[in-house]
Amino acid sequence: QEFENTREKDPLEFQVGSDRVVSGIDAAVAGMVVGERRSATVQCEDAFGYALQSRIVRISILEIPEPVSVGDRVGVKGLFAVISNITEDWVEVDANHPLAGEDLYLDLEIVGLTKGSTLEVATFSGGSFWGLELLFQRIDGVASTQVGFTQGNRASPTWPEVCSGKTGHVEVCDMTFHACD
C-alpha cells in the first residue's frame, strides 16, 4: 500500500546526515547522483521503529471534549494520536507513528543537489509540535522538519510521560531551511 509519493508535487528535500529523515533513507541515497534512480528497502528499525505499547494510552471519556470515532486523528493532553478503541469509560489513543513496525519500500530519484552549507536549522516550541510541523512544511524554502522533545529531565521519555507534565519536556519542531531564501 502506498503511503506517500512526491511524483505530482515538490520532491522531498533534506540534508544527508542531518538526522532530518529516518536513517535508512539517508543510507539509501548515499552516493547517488542527479538523475539516478534506485529502489531500496528500509527495515522498520531504520525507519520509524517498532510500534511500542507504551505509546498506546487510555484516557477517561470525560476528558474528550467532543464525540470521536475509532480512526479519528486527535490531539489529547499534548499528544497527537489516532483513536484505536472506545468504551463507555475510556478512549484508547495510539501515538505510534502510522508506519511504526513497517518496512519502507522506496523508489528513489535524485532530481537535484544543494550544497549543505546553504541549509540552516531553527528550533521552535509552540504547543503541539504537529501543528508547527504542518505549518513549516507549507513554507517555500523549508527543506525538512523534525519533531521531538527537549529540556526535560529524562533521556528518552515516552509520549505519556511527557504529556503527564512530570518530565519537564516541551514539544519542539526543528525546521531546516535554505538560508538564501
Q: What is the pLDDT of residue 10?
A: 80
Q: What is the largest CA-CA distance in the chain?
A: 56
CA distances from 101 to 43, 48, 52, 71 (A): 9, 7, 9, 18
**Is 104 within 8 Å of 27 (Cβ atoms)?**
no
Task: Give tens-digit pLDDT for 136-155.
Answer: 888 888 888 888 888 877 77
CB hemisphere CA count around 25 (13 angstroms):
18
Mean pLDDT of 67-90: 83
Task: Give tens-digit pLDDT for 84-140.
Answer: 999 999 999 898 888 899 999 999 999 888 765 577 888 888 777 778 888 888 888
Between CA 137 and CA 6 the distance in angstroms is 14
**Is 147 within 8 Å of 128 (Cβ atoms)?**
no
Mean pLDDT of 157-161: 80
Query: For residue 27, is pLDDT > 80?
Result: yes
Q: What is the pLDDT of residue 181?
A: 44
Residue 117, H or E segment: none
**Is 122 within 8 Å of 142 (Cβ atoms)?**
no
- Nearest Cα neighbor of 76 from 88, 98, 58, 89 is 58
pTM over 0.85: no
